[in-house]
Amino acid sequence: MRTSNTWLRIGVICGLALAGLAVADDLTLTGGDTRLTGSVRSINEAGEVELASELSPEPLFLKSDAVEKVVFSASPQAGEPPSTLVELANGDILPARIETLDERHLVVSSPDAGRLEIPRESIQSVQLGIQRRKVIYEGSNNLEEWTDAAGEMKNWGFENGRLISTGPASAYKKLPLSRQFILRFTLVWQAKQVAPNFQVYFADPGVKKAEPCDRYYLQFGGAGLEIKREAAKGKRFHTIAILNRPFDQYPDNRLQVELRVNRDAARMQLLLNGEPEGDFPDPIDNVPTGAGITLVCNTPAGRSQEIRDIEVLEFDDSRRRHRSEDRGDPDHDSLISREDDRWSGRLVEVRNTPKGAVFLFKTAFQEQPMEIPEAEVSTVFFATGKAKAEDKTPHPFVLRLAGEGSLRVASCQFDGDSASAVHPLLGPLKFRREGIVAMERNSPTPPKP
């Protein structure tokens, strides 16, 4: 059976009644306006999704470009995820515990994928001592949790977690923001012919309209994207970053934004559709101390705009800082300790001992390798001189794993409590199904000007 528009409409209705399913996965269809609920059986190499429903005697088959994202049913996790992230040569991330390392392979144990042997040339870095990021806010949940100047949320609508504006609209929410935080959201507009017009204020004290204050804001429209700093005294507006990238270059009229803000260091990092766009300093001395976010949609008559998938998390900037710093000679391994000591040379071995793992690191200035306890290691960069050639095979899906993992794959098969996929660097993998949080379409990022 193949889907038709009628079947999709029926599927939406049926999805509302699937509470009896043991597994109730949530599928967002392309465009984001339609969702289906059921049990995903497989996603094949052509991208076709097989969806089982207890109200349909036969499974539904959704064509490759019909499904944008699958969020798998939540299951209780067995303990905390691993405190080590293995970054592969292609940028994918695997949460795992390091067992051993020799001249050829790193052996790790993943709670979701089991024991893996990874060739050294397939590894870019490992980061240790990673703590799970605390979620400060995730939504939206309803209109009532937001406020506007008039107290009536004029021109806002709400549907399936989406804030939808149908005219000029503003919404504010105060949050317990930490000094370092991550703000994520997705902007959606109607058509490529009509420019979007969004403003998102953050570290916002929530003062009266037009009153100068210390805060940041991002604006996105026909001229591109810009991050600005507003100041309470002196010159009011200062540019932090500008991307003169036409809005019609973003696929499906949507843009995923991630801002990583470190108010202690007066810096922020911008990511668009998962790709880093730069690290920027705050040009003003008095860093904003506000704890709110304000959403503004300057929507023309007859059009709508959406802000969805809003997340605010606590942020530990140290691991990103170590990864972004100059790692030195790429033909040698580099090790950074938690106290910011740095060495270049060769990570000879990782050895398990009764007191925990020990990293044996050899530099050109010592006859014998140093023995560094795992608890003192922050980041290891692996030599890239013998890295494998870039894999040109398309991998249209991203598996999101518990513990901030992400792996790009061509397809994924599901069988009861397990799932299997083939990864370009790790080879055939078998996962616990409950360890896969979501599966998303790997949207291409437009070329940088």
Interval 264-315: pLDDT, tens: 999 999 999 888 899 999 999 889 999 999 999 998 877 899 999 999 999 8
Say if 173 falls within a structural domain.
yes
Same domain flag for 304 and 233: yes
Helix, strand and coil content of the chain, in percent to the nearest 5, comes to: 10, 50, 45
Which three-class secondary structure state does DSSP give residue 18?
A: helix
Are 435 and 82 in contact by the 8 Å Cβ rule? The answer is no
Say if 87 falls within a structural domain.
no
pLDDT of amino acid 20: 40
Distance CA(325)–CA(404), nearest Å, equals: 21
Same domain flag for 309 and 332: no
Q: At which of 286, 315, 344 does a domain end?
A: 315
Same domain flag for 165 and 115: no
Can you tell me the mean pLDDT for 24-51? 77
Same domain flag for 367 and 395: no
Say if 96 falls within a structural domain.
no
Dihedral sign of CA atoms 273, 274, 279, 282 in order? positive
pLDDT tens per residue, range 102-137: 999 999 999 989 999 999 999 999 999 877 778 999
Say if 92 falls within a structural domain.
no
Same domain flag for 171 and 106: no
Same domain flag for 202 and 279: yes
Strand 35-43 relative to strand 412-415, pairing: antiparallel
Same domain flag for 144 and 120: no
Write the DSSP string, 187-203.
EEES-TTS---EEEEEE
Same domain flag for 366 and 287: no
Same domain flag for 215 and 284: yes
Whether the predicted model's global pTM rises above the 0.75 cut: no
> Domain limits at 373?
102-129+320-381
Least confident residue range of 156-165, 284-293, 355-364, 415-424: 415-424
Strand segments, DSSP code E, in 244-325 are 254-262, 267-272, 275-281, 292-297, 305-314
Same domain flag for 217 and 198: yes
Are 396 and 441 in contact by the 8 Å Cβ rule? The answer is yes
Please state, for a pLDDT cut of 90, what percent of the chain lies above it: 51
